[in-house]
Structure 1
Amino acid sequence: MYKKHIIIILWITTSLTFSNSEGIYAQSKAADLKNWPKGTSPREIGNRIAEHFNATPHTNFNRTTPPRVITYPESCTWYGALTFAGESKNKQLTKKLQKRFEPLFNEEAKMIPVPDHVDYCVFGAVPLELYMQTKEKRYLDMGLGIADKQWGPPEGPRVVKESQGYYDQGYTWQTRLWIDDMFMITAIQAQAFRATADQKYIDRAAKEMVFYLDQLQRPNGLFYHAPDVPFYWGRGNGWMAVGMAELLRSLPENNPNYDRIMKGYKEMMSSLLKYQTEEGMWRQLVDKPESWIETSGTGMFTFAFITGVKNGWLDKELYGKAARKAWLKLITYINENDDITDVCEGTNKKNDYQYYLDRKRNTGDLHGQAPLLWCATALLR
């Protein structure tokens, strides 16, 4: 009888151990950011979106009118395609994207944006990425020229009365306290640091980020579109999430602003986790269940989660699971033409709740294509 009891106890213990192991395996599989079902991998999706971008002529915000200059959605998508090409070691893709750039040194030179606004300066991230992949100095010169102009004295028709004050305090004169800026400004300055290892560039970006954090982040970790616009707009918050993640990826831990930025980043990520839908997406207004599912903000939040998990800033199981779920759902919004659907159109700030709910839902808008490439790159890192 005694032996029988021992055998039963051993059987129960073994079963529980096996069951627990299965649970741990299942949990890890749900948070897996390396293995993907066929057709859903970052390499497959990234190649599709990057090739589609490269084959598409210069476009405006929603691909309906030819632009006079390169607009920031194209700059962001170009940057994403290049980083994807580099991370996937696809040298042929890099060459194609480089060929797309070549006319800007010649017949399309007038399409290079004048660097007198955050939306125009972000273009500099593209030649800086080309420099890092090709080592051709002409790309470096162009990119650094834009990065330095951003921190130069105020000049041009876009100067406002606050510009000189910001400049005198060591911020860029282009400061305007819209959350969009925290990708537009920090992206090019972080790129300049990566290309040169010159500390001044990353220090600029970090100081600017802390100023925006102190002015715009709310107690719940999210951000108003601007101080006078009390709404948690999805893509606006997305720019902030990506901006912090991209900056922290290169910011030395001994930088005096590192801890403050990491604190702001983690508070935001924790809040975003609560607002992720059951399917894995986020909404046009992050905290409003009556607002519609929006893909560009979702892509940006997904990038921020992936980057946090990959760098060990965020809990691997909790945020890895959320990131995997988001990626797998997000890519179902890509149509047969490799255009993502349900992208909020270009949006200025406005203190009007209904204005944000009524924004047009675009298909193939580069505001939405770019985050797909950022996510694909981050998953391969």
Structure 2
Amino acid sequence: MLVAVAAPWHVAAHVATAGEFSRVYWGMHVFGRATGAGPFEDSTYWWYYFPAMARDLFPWIVFLPGALVQPWRRVSRGHLGPMLFPGVWFAGSFVFFSAVSFRKDEYLLVAYPGAALLIGYFLDYYLGAHRHDAALRKWVEAAFTVVAVAVLLLGLGFLLVAWSGSVREHLFEAFHNPTDQATFAAVADLIADREWVAVLVAGPMMAGAAASIVLIRRDRPLPTVALMVCTTVLAFVLFVETVVPVLGQARGLASFAAAASAHAQARGPRTRIFLAVGECHELTFMLHRVTVGLETRPDMVGYLEKDLATGRPWLVVMDRGAHERGRWADPRLQWRLVDQTPPGHRRPMVLLEPVLKTQGSGGP
């Protein structure tokens, strides 16, 4: 059914673009990514997704090993059926995307629903079997304790960053990547100026962690699981409402998109922005109302020249390195630097204005 629905569209796209769609879609973005060819050269290790998964599924990641092992234990073989499908779903996705050459965090998102179902089945089984399965009970108690201690340490670290300038300085120096440094500095500045934010985020986390240790030691599994769910949801909401906006500003993408949109509006309603960058879906989404793609045009500079001659203003977003290397350097056009992403951005980009040389002078 999937092939019957999708195949006609792919065939139509292939015909409409004279094969260019298939070359880019299948050749570059499917097989190119899988084999690490061209711009998708492998730059990560085979274990790349292990720390990424631990971060994305925290704190529930601690139960995943048990969820993978539990169905195969003799005492719970009867529960193998319901866990087989999510187990194959998760394991198959994880192994497949770990095996391909080009790895990105978002590729593994397809495996997370399977992992969530596995963990849910595992905890459901634990709630019903914890009294007569001593080994399972001890393992889950240890897992809850590990999570609680990790959350307590995380909350304590969050508070120390807010209250101690020396801690902020030492942690900042521990980051070597400029993007990580900029992100940490933005969050540290936020909670240093507003200590109540640190208390608001860390307080419920630490209180929930301490309470979960008490409950699990008293053999109260259902309240422990319920408390962990509530604490996780609360921490997530608080983090999204207070810290995530600062992270977005630190990464500069939202502010860069807003600046590009403002520059386009200032030049008139006919202005269009060309995204001469690949793999920047967030920026494409933020600027979708004023952006166009010219990837299929053989002479992009020629197209811009003709359109500029009609009076339509254009802005071009380009990787800073590509601009400095002279991409699209042409005697017909000059490029004015309008704006750029802030220092420390994970992907430095520039906003350029192409100008016909007969219209005025500008930078190279």
TM-score by length of 2: 0.29
More strand per residue: 2
Larger gyration radius, structure 1 or structure 2: 2
TM-score (norm 1): 0.28
Q: Which has the higher helix share?
A: 2
The answer to which structure, 1 or 2, has the higher relative contact order (CA under 8 A, 6+ apart) is: 1
